[in-house]
């Protein structure tokens, strides 16, 4: 007969020096909550990255005196990590490592994983770990086998996902189970707020004070003036800093041009490199790295090319790439063979690399949730190092025209957040979802994007995450008005790459963009790369790529016959013409 370990065993939590303060306080909040009250069945806890969220998930069944708990992770990687924490044979077993339990019998874990599990495993378990993909749909085989009272507690890890229909299936299947959502952010990428009253939250400001997370500063690129062309063939317009800020807030096309035009994209990269080099020199730690956000696949490649041109080892991960391709990039990152990793919302939950120290914003963040998830990648402290050592500082770099200031301000408020903050939180609407097309010629629809042609006298403004003393802030404002900037407003020092490095980066970018266009062609027409639909003698991939390469050769301005001989000007011209080249190839293949 099963013994309900979570209901009868008394864990060592209060005053336990091996637990973190937010874990103990959140445990007490769960223990004291009356789940039987009106609208009290489902509640939430918000803990910043690095504050012991996985440990709290292990403690929560004790706080709720659960008979059997279902722990649901958003993906397989996190499910594996959580199961490891709960497995007694694991040397890093949470309950003994943190001295929550001295000896057994320990709570029995089990997992739901395809055909390798069975119902008897679950019946013996005190806690069952799975990822949400295993339990999707009402007619799921596992849900069909289990009675509605099988679990009396459901834990949703990364609970901001819990507004999705796939999670709601579990609420309906186990109608009397108490539900606890635990997350570092209260909102999903689409702005929807996770359900359930927030019964406990631990402010980032306190986490910084305790040394649980890095100290984060923002650096905003402020050009004194900026020049741009609204439409092809149009006149160049000069605008002041205030107008750049206004356009960034009101004009979606202008925002995208800020993060994709050569002139502005370059300065974001340069500023992030400068901050990385400063941090490496100050700390003596050469492993510190940059993480950059991008809009889509083409933009990823554009950003990677820029960092390579400026002398850094850069690569990217993207959900459209095969799993093994992304794993290879992760390995390079873990082995410290990269200085920069670029991503499109790919390094999400479950990713942990504490040496990421600079977050460079090349994408559009319309609300707080995804911005917090991105910045969270640089918030984990480096293990084995004093948390207050300068190596545990983090920096966020963004351009004033990218309209990031608003979410940065929201982030500042969140950093100091108390219960009232979450009580007043409402769903946001995702105004501007990530595009699926490259921000460049043609833009995000029929209207081309503006092109930023140049910037003058770019200043790098320091924005603190944790609010400074009001008197100090007022004094800095007076100095700014008087034209005295000091360290808070620092002139951006430009980086001059060699012409050879620029040409090499552009050649690699052209090669990468061609491969992307080939992949897009197959997706558009429902073809497989290894099929022979276009030419019975050759695979589709070879047919399409060779056709694009042939068109490229015809259009080389200098007349060079080998790609290794293309000049930088040749490559600029060919990259700009690539969309039209692909259209030409598509028409030729359609005609047969």
User: What was the pLDDT predicted at 440?
Assistant: 40
Q: Give SS3 for 422.
A: helix
d(CA 268, CA 458): 11
The pLDDT value recorded for residue 390 is 94
Q: What kind and span of H or E run contains 163? A: none
Q: Do the strands 356-361 and 197-201 form a parallel or antiparallel pair, or are they unpaired?
A: unpaired
Domain ranges within the chain, ordered by starting residue: 5-202, 213-425+449-491, 499-591
Sign of the C-alpha dihedral computed for residues 561, 563, 564 and 566 taken in this order: positive
How many CB atoms within 10 Å of residue 512?
A: 18
What are phi and psi for residue 420, nearest 5 degrees? -60, -35
Instruction: Count CB neighbours of 144 within 10 A.
Output: 9
Query: Which phi and psi angles does 21 have, rounded to 5°?
Result: -50, -45
Q: How far apart are CA 217 and CA 461, in angstroms?
A: 10
User: How many CB atoms within 10 Å of residue 315?
Assistant: 19
Give ∠ CA 262-264-270 in degrees, rounded to 5.
95
What distance in Å separates the CA atoms of residue 78 and residue 311, rounded to the nearest whole number? 35
Q: 196: alpha, beta or left, given left = phi > 0 and alpha = psi -120 to 50?
A: left
What is the C-alpha to C-alpha distance for residues 435 and 345, in angstroms, rounded to an integer?
A: 12
Residue 147 in contact with residue 174, Cβ under 8 Å?
Answer: no
Alpha carbon distance 58, 74 (integer Å): 16
Report the largest interatomic distance among the alpha carbons of the chain, rounded to a whole angstrom: 82
| pLDDT of res. 418 | 55
Specify the DSSP class assigned to residue 75: S
Single out the residue of 152, 181, 140, 179 nearest to residue 53, CA to CA: 181
Q: Are 32 and 22 a contacting pair, CB within 8 Å?
A: no
Residue with tokens 């020049």, as numbered in its chain: 227
CATH number for region 213-425+449-491: 3.40.50.300
pLDDT of residue 346: 58
Give average pLDDT by consecutive 10-residue segment, the chain, 592 residues. 91 97 97 86 90 96 97 90 96 96 93 87 96 78 90 85 67 93 72 75 90 92 92 85 93 92 94 96 97 92 96 88 80 96 70 91 86 89 92 95 88 71 43 35 54 89 71 56 55 87 93 90 88 89 92 93 92 93 90 76
**Residues sharing a CB contact under 8 Å with residue 559, sequence separation 6 or more, in sequence order:** none
5-202 shares its CATH topology with 213-425+449-491? yes
- The residue assigned the tokens 């293309």 is 566
According to CATH, the topology of domain 5-202 is Rossmann fold (3.40.50)
Whole-angstrom distance, CA of residue 149 vs CA of residue 177: 7
Nearest CA-CA partner of 155 in 177, 127, 179: 179
Closest CA to 179 of 42, 83, 28, 305: 42
- What is the per-residue pLDDT for 429? 34
Res 469: pLDDT: 53
Collapsed DSSP state (helix, strand, coil) of residue 564: helix
């Amino acid at each position: 007969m099963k013994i309900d370990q979570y209901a009868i065993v008394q864990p060592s939590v209060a005053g336990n020096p091996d637990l973190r303060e937010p874990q103990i306080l959140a445990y007490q909040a769960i223990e004291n909550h009356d789940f039987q009250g009106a609208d009290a069945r489902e509640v939430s806890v918000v803990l910043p990255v690095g504050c012991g969220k996985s440990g709290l998930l292990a403690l929560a069944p004790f706080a709720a005196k659960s008979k059997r708990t279902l722990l649901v992770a958003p993906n397989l990687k996190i499910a594996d990590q959580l199961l490891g924490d709960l497995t007694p044979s694991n040397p890093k077993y949470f309950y003994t490592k943190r001295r929550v339990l001295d000896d057994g019998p320990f709570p029995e874990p089990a997992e739901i994983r395809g055909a390798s599990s069975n119902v008897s495993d679950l019946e013996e378990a005190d806690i069952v770990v799975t990822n949400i993909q295993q339990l999707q749909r009402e007619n799921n085989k596992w849900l069909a086998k289990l009675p509605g009272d099988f679990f009396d507690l459901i834990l949703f890890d990364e609970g901001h996902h819990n507004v999705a229909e796939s999670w709601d299936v579990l609420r309906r299947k186990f109608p009397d189970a108490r539900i606890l959502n635990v997350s570092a952010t209260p909102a999903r990428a689409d702005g929807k707020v996770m359900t359930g009253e927030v019964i406990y939250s631990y402010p980032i400001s306190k986490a910084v004070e305790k040394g649980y997370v890095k100290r984060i500063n923002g650096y905003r690129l402020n050009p004194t003036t900026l020049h741009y062309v609204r439409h092809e063939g149009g006149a160049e317009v000069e605008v002041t800093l205030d107008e750049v800020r206004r356009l960034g807030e009101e004009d979606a096309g202008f925002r995208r041009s800020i993060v994709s035009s050569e002139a502005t994209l370059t300065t974001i990269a340069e500023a992030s490199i400068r901050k990385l080099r400063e941090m490496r020199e100050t700390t003596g730690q050469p492993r510190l790295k940059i993480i950059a956000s991008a809009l889509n696949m083409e933009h990823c490649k554009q950003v990677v090319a820029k960092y390579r041109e400026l002398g850094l080892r850069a690569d990217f991960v993207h959900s459209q790439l095969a799993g093994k391709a992304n794993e290879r990039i992760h390995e390079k990152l873990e082995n410290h063979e990269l200085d920069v990793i670029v991503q499109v919302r790919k390094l999400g939950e479950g990713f942990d690399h504490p040496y990421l120290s600079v977050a460079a914003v090349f994408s559009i963040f319309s609300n707080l949730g995804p911005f917090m998830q991105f910045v969270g990648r640089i918030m984990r402290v480096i293990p084995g190092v004093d948390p207050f050592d300068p190596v545990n500082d983090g920096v966020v770099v963004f351009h004033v025209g990218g309209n990031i200031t608003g979410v940065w301000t929201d982030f500042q408020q969140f950093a100091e957040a108390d219960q009232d903050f979450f009580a007043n939180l409402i769903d946001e609407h995702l105004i501007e979802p990530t595009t699926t097309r490259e921000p460049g010629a043609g833009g995000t629809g029929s209207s081309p994007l503006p092109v930023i042609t140049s910037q003058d006298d770019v200043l790098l403004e320091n924005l603190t995450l944790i609010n400074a003393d009001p008197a100090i802030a007022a004094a800095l404002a007076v100095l700014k008005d008087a034209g005295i900037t000091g360290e808070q407003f620092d002139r951006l020092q430009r980086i001059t790459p060699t012409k050879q490095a620029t040409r090499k980066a552009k050649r690699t970018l052209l090669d990468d963009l061609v491969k992307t266009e080939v992949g897009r062609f197959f997706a558009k027409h429902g073809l497989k790369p290894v099929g022979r639909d276009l030419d019975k003698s050759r695979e589709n991939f070879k047919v399409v790529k060779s056709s694009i390469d042939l068109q490229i050769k015809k259009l080389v301005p200098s007349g060079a016959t080998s790609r290794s001989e293309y000049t930088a000007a040749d490559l600029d011209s060919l990259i700009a013409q690539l969309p039209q080249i692909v259209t030409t190839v598509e028409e030729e293949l359609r005609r047969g």
